[in-house]
């Protein structure tokens, strides 16, 4: 019996014991994602609810053996509005059960929406939710909810605090720019800290609050950090990472072996900075600041926004989720009946240099791999292309490593080339170069009239090399009314290594790509008309004049994740 079937059977017993029933006779609910001609863009192994609108991930956590994912959700339509906290659970972060929403607009302090927030474990490992509500005047206020029954591992029901709203936009705080509380952290002084995204007098900032009881909060006399270059900070995140271990670190950890990450969502991207945090003085000293010249640290350089991390105590790792928005129109979303997916969860650690973060898809996703094809040591001459056959190219995981024997012959980089996205747009996959473009053509039609190219170009820069990584959507679809943006980023490279690698996760309408060490990630949404399901193809290509060598390529078809919608068991009517 496959592991996902065992997972499903065990979960059914647990759910029935909690007074919750699984629909479809306890069988995996496949029909939401098994009609590819009717739903060619619905994903097979990325998280998304059965229908309707979804945006930010909220407060993911691991509790009593169960992973919980909360998310911004419209229960009634495939467009933004009526925002609730959707709630799904899993044992492995791959296969999911959809529960009833955890929090719905119902009180004056959230009647116009239960917006983003986070979960925190209080003393005794009791979970709590801090979230932003929109009140009758549409002011943004901060609220608290706790489980009705903390012994329930599924956390089916949540109760809003009678003290709500805990925080309101007073003094100089703009009531339209005061939202998205983070996971709180606690110092040895037993005082809780939390930051809330804001913009005051043109400065994006993380307003810092302190509390001894998690109910009564006092604003600090200064923000944790601020910037004049960013605009409003949405969905901030603040957490420690280890400087000498690949293990994750619990959010309240404070020692000399950690650095802190401050993330803010603005300008349609998730930017982060690294620095040192001193709890006693509440001082965060950043190594570099947001939007500093020459530093553009992002989780992802494509479609990835409003992300949230959590500490997975079961496996001692920190995991990152991000909202992957659509690139089609609102009318398309209404026609599909859904909008928005979540990225594959990623483990996140500090790089060996300590200058950036490294991300990689969680190991559990590899349980879906099947039908592997692979080959070693194949020369890829300039202008060549060949098909990788034997897998389902619309639903795949691909890893390829390239040797660069002609690295010394790379063309020199123009000093004016400082914007990688612009450079990728100008030098798309069809534009010949010297060492590159080379990489993958994914979700491609047989005649290549549709293709999404994920590739590298390599340039000389003084005594070093500049590696450009691109995700080119310019030919991704013959359809109209789509955003076919091309994304790009520079990738650091050790010239003595003379090799570079790429991994792409392909799932019908989303392509998540990682350079081989996870230093650079690019996510794209595409909607091909021809390259759908079995009519999608995968190719490796080299459109440079110099040869490269494929040292190893491995590709797998990906099985569908198991999805179970469930609902509360109704009490019988008594006549």
Task: Mark out the alpha helices in 95-154 (DSSP H runs).
Answer: none
Closest CA to 343 of 102, 57, 2, 36: 57
Contact call for residues 505 and 522 (beta carbons, < 8 A): no
Residues 6+ positions from 107 with CB-CB distance below 8 Å: 133, 160, 164
- Cβ-contact 214, 128 below 8 angstroms: yes
Whether the link from the prior residue into 238 is cis, omega within 30° of 0, is no
**110 in active site:** no
Ramachandran class of 399: left when φ > 0, alpha when ψ lies in -120 to 50, beta otherwise: beta
Residue 45: both structure tokens together: 């192994």
Q: CA-CA distance, 528 to 538, in Å (whole number)? A: 14
From the number of C-beta atoms within 10 Å of its C-beta (0-12, 13-18, 19+), residue 373 rates as middle
Which residues, in sequence order, are CB contacts of 210 under 8 Å at separation 6+?
Answer: 191, 192, 193, 217, 218, 220
13 membership: H or E segment, kind and range: helix 3-17
Q: Which of 18, 56, 176, 419 is catalytic?
A: 56
* Residue environment code for 105-135, b if the CB has 16+ CB neighbours within 10 A, otherwise e: beeebbebbbbbbbbbbeeeeebbbbbbbbb
Partners of 226 in the beta sheet? 205
Q: Which residues form the catalytic set? A: 56
């Amino acid at each position: 019996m496959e592991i996902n079937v065992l997972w499903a059977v065990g979960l059914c017993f647990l759910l029935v014991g909690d007074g919750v029933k699984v629909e479809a006779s306890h069988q995996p609910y496949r029909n939401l994602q098994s009609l590819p001609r009717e739903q060619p863009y619905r994903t097979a192994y990325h998280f998304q609810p059965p229908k309707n609108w979804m945006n930010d991930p909220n407060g993911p956590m691991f509790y009593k053996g169960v992973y919980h994912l909360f998310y911004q959700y419209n229960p009634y339509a495939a467009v933004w509005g009526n925002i609730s906290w959707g709630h799904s659970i899993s044992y492995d972060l791959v296969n999911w059960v959809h529960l009833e929403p955890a929090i719905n607009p119902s009180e004056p302090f959230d009647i116009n929406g239960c917006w983003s927030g986070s979960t925190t474990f209080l003393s005794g490992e009791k979970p709590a939710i801090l979230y932003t509500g929109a009140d009758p005047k549409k002011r943004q206020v901060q609220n608290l909810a706790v489980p009705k029954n903390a012994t329930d591992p599924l956390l089916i029901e949540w109760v809003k605090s009678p003290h709500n709203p805990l925080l309101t936009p007073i003094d100089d705080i703009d009531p339209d720019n005061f939202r998205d509380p983070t996971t709180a952290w606690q110092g040895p002084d037993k005082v809780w800290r939390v930051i809330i995204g804001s913009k005051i007098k043109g400065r994006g900032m993380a307003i810092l609050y302190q509390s001894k009881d998690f109910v009564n909060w006092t604003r600090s006399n200064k923000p944790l950090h601020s910037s004049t270059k960013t605009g409003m900070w949405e969905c901030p995140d603040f957490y420690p990472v280890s400087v000498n271990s690949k293990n994750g670190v619990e959010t309240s950890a404070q020692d000399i072996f950690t650095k802190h990450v401050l993330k803010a969502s603005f300008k349609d991207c998730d930017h982060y900075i690294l620095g040192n945090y001193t709890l006693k003085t509440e001082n965060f000293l950043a190594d570099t600041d947001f939007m500093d010249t020459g530093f553009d640290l992002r989780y992802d350089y494509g479609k990835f926004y409003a992300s949230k991390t959590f500490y997975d105590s079961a496996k001692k790792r920190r995991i990152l989720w991000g909202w992957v928005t659509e690139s089609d129109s609102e009318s398309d979303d209404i026609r599909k009946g859904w909008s928005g997916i979540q990225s594959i969860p990623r483990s996140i650690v500090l790089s060996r240099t300590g200058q950036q973060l490294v991300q990689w898809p969680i190991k559990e996703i590899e349980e879906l791999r099947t039908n592997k094809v692979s080959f070693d040591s194949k020369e890829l001459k300039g202008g060549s292309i060949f098909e990788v056959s034997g897998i389902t190219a619309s639903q795949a995981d691909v890893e390829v490593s390239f040797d660069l024997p002609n690295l010394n012959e790379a063309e020199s980089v123009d000093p004016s080339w400082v914007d990688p996205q612009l450079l990728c747009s100008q030098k798309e996959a069809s534009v010949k170069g010297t060492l590159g473009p080379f990489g993958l053509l994914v979700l491609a039609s047989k005649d290549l009239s549709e293709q999404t190219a994920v590739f590298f170009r390599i340039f000389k820069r003084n005594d070093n090399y500049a590696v450009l990584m691109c995700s080119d959507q310019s030919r991704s679809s013959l359809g109209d009314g789509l955003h076919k943006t091309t994304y790009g980023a520079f990738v650091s490279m050790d010239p003595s290594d003379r090799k570079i690698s790429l991994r792409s996760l392909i799932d019908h309408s989303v392509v998540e790509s990682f350079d081989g060490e996870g230093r650079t990630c690019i996510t794209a949404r595409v909607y091909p008309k021809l390259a759908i399901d079995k009519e999608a193809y995968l190719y490796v290509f080299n459109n440079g004049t110099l040869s490269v060598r494929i040292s190893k390529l491995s590709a797998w078809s990906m099985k569908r994740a198991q999805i179970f919608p469930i609902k509360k068991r109704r009490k019988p009517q008594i006549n």
